[in-house]
Amino acid sequence: MDPIAFTEMNIKLAPASTGIYTLYDGAEVIYYGRATGGSATIRSRLMDHISGRASPCTRAAKTVTWESCRDPEARDDALLAAFESTHSTRPRCNLGSE
């Protein structure tokens, strides 16, 4: 999926399922997140971020992508590991998170 504008209108298009999402500020990945199910769906987590309830840092996002998957923890961990391998750090809004 190509990044789309991080707006409430586009978030309404996000699935109400488990998966992962990536927030961008321009071309920069600023956050990898996961929605593990139950009340934590991709759509609900993105609403938490755009509203500022999740983190003030992620409110800087301009675009977003998402991916439904059965094991969001493993996929999120893999994305973070690949980013760290390339950049020797985590995305700026993932710093300090485990």
Residues 36-88: tens digit of each pLDDT? 988 899 999 999 999 999 989 999 999 999 999 999 999 999 999 999 999 99
Asked if 24 and 62 count as a contact pair (C-beta separation under 8 A), the reply is yes
Res. 94: pLDDT tops 60: yes
Asked if 26 and 73 count as a contact pair (C-beta separation under 8 A), the reply is no
- Look up the CATH number of domain 4-87: 3.40.1440.10
Average pLDDT over residues 81-96: 95
| Residue 56 tokens, joined | 């003030």
pLDDT-derived band at 1, boundaries 50, 70, 90:
confident
Domain ranges of the chain: 4-87
**pTM for the structure as a whole:** 0.94
Query: How far separated are the first and last CA of the chain, in Å rounded?
Result: 26
